[in-house]
Homo-oligomer: A and B are copies of this chain.
């Protein structure tokens, strides 16, 4: 383990001051050009040296005929060239004194046969010149905090707290937009490709030390250095949650992973036990991977597995109760004290059980303040799960009825939503208990956006929300197990 992030072999790959770029041209349909354009779109503050055999300028930058011509040995080389000239190019970079390279080009171990030899040769060159190599067959790195993005698609949205090490570049570049819908982003994301040199273990070490990373996500098709993987994860997990999505456990997943990155997968049980040993939480899908990271990276740890469900609709409440039960969570009865506190807010048709079903509320604002406050104060519960519904037409209907104009309505509604989300978030933060929302609204809905922007995670449907709480409890128990070595904890992977 490096003592500081600067000691990581990945540090200057994720935070380069200067980059030699091979394979970009002025032809926008070439892969290399697109990668350079992503880097430029990000607003990279360092120097970029495009190397091109013919062009004088590439995408507005002065180009160089050969790496030998560069005025310095840059921190990093990014190579997006036809396979047959990659090794030769890396050798030239080595001679120039470049010590870090991202090889994006494919056609190595993953195609078998001569590709295997070619990759061996590539590693030999890297070793000979002391080059730290990411790839081949990868998309490199996205570090929005340093304004680096060598991947195919421009990064949207703000930098975030999720660190990713992925055996698929797509799960970085094609996920920017996905995350930004939830007001989330990557701290730093590595595409490791064939892992000829640097691998997922190195990335975990980097992300473990990275101050922007609050939670680590892993996309795994197969682990090469099993023992080191477990050792490193064990050191990181107690202070920074690690979530893994592993696809090699099914026969079809194993085969696909092998032809994708040449990964050597193992049976599900093996990985389950490896994850358990390491203190890693296993997700069952890409969207679950990021949902778990969202909550683990932003919410306090629960003290136990007791959830209160707050709803104003019976069906969504009952479905949530079922989801919590299936996720191994408990629904405690409310104490007399809490019931007394709630009585003024709940009409006779509402129910003061758990789920707390307000039904048609007298004052809709109670749902966002006085009711959750009473529920967060409940001594018998550790977590709160709230159903969010704000049908825009109903609000509009009310405002129209008050005689407001179209413009006034939009303004009023926006103000109403913003103020409400802010005050609610302030309330929730003042208690040290995890709170998650669930809804059937789109994440693009202004109300749901408002909640997310205030740091309240809101998921589609109760099942996802319950699984997320299960992951939080699992993580707390993991740590208690490490501390006390006594408590038993169930793995969320078993409740898929």
Contacts and interface: CB of A to CB of B under 8 A. Distances in A.
A174 interface: yes
Contacts of A169: 314-315
Which among A261, A287, A440 has the greatest number of chain B C-beta atoms within 10 A?
Answer: A440
Given A317-B256, A317-B260, A177 B287 contact: no
Given A170-B315, A315-B166, A321-B252, A286 B461 contact: yes
Interface stretch (A62-70, A89-97, A386-394): A386-394
A397 interface: yes
Nearest to A398: B28
A37 interface: yes
A315 B360 CA distance: 46
Contact of A256 (B28, B355, B401): B355
Interface residues of A, number: 83
Interface in A358-405: 359-360, 389, 391, 393-394, 397-398, 401
A391 B153 contact: yes
A158 interface: no
A314 B391 contact: no
Contacts of A131: none
Which among A107, A259, A461 has the greatest number of chain B C-beta atoms within 10 A?
Answer: A259
B37 A287 contact: no
A348 interface: yes
A318 interface: yes
A248 B322 CA distance: 7
Interface in A306-342: 313-326, 331
Interface stretch (A196-204, A229-237, A441-449): A441-449
A167 interface: yes
B440 A442 contact: no
A409 interface: no
Nearest to A351: B259
Contact of A325 (B177, B250, B357, B463): B250
Nearest to A349: B106
The number of times this chain is found in the oligomer is 2
Contacts of A41: 393
Contact of A397 (B37, B248, B325, B401): B37
Nearest to A363: B29
A357 B260 CA distance: 9
A181 interface: yes
A496 interface: yes
A314 B397 contact: no
Given A250-B326, A251-B325, A325-B251, A29 B316 contact: no
A391 B260 contact: no
A353 interface: yes
A431 interface: no
A284 interface: yes
B316 A168 contact: yes
Contacts of A156: 393
Nearest to A348: B107
Contacts of A351: 259
B28 A174 contact: no
A168 to B, nearest CB: 2
Interface string A245-275: 1011111110111011100000000000000
A460 interface: yes
Given A177-B440, A444-B444, A106 B359 contact: yes
Contacts of A213: none
Given A168-B313, A250-B326, A260-B314, 8 more contacts: A167-B315, A177-B441, A178-B440, A256-B355, A260-B318, A285-B462, A287-B461, A287-B463
17 contacts: A28-B401, A166-B315, A171-B316, A174-B313, A174-B391, A252-B322, A252-B331, A253-B318, A256-B322, A261-B314, A285-B462, A286-B319, A286-B440, A286-B461, A287-B460, A442-B443, A496-B496
Interface of A: 28-29, 31, 34, 37, 41, 106-107, 152-154, 156, 166-171, 174-175, 177-178, 181, 219, 221, 245, 247-253, 255-257, 259-261, 284-287, 313-326, 331, 348-349, 351, 353, 355, 357, 359-360, 389, 391, 393-394, 397-398, 401, 440-444, 460-463, 496
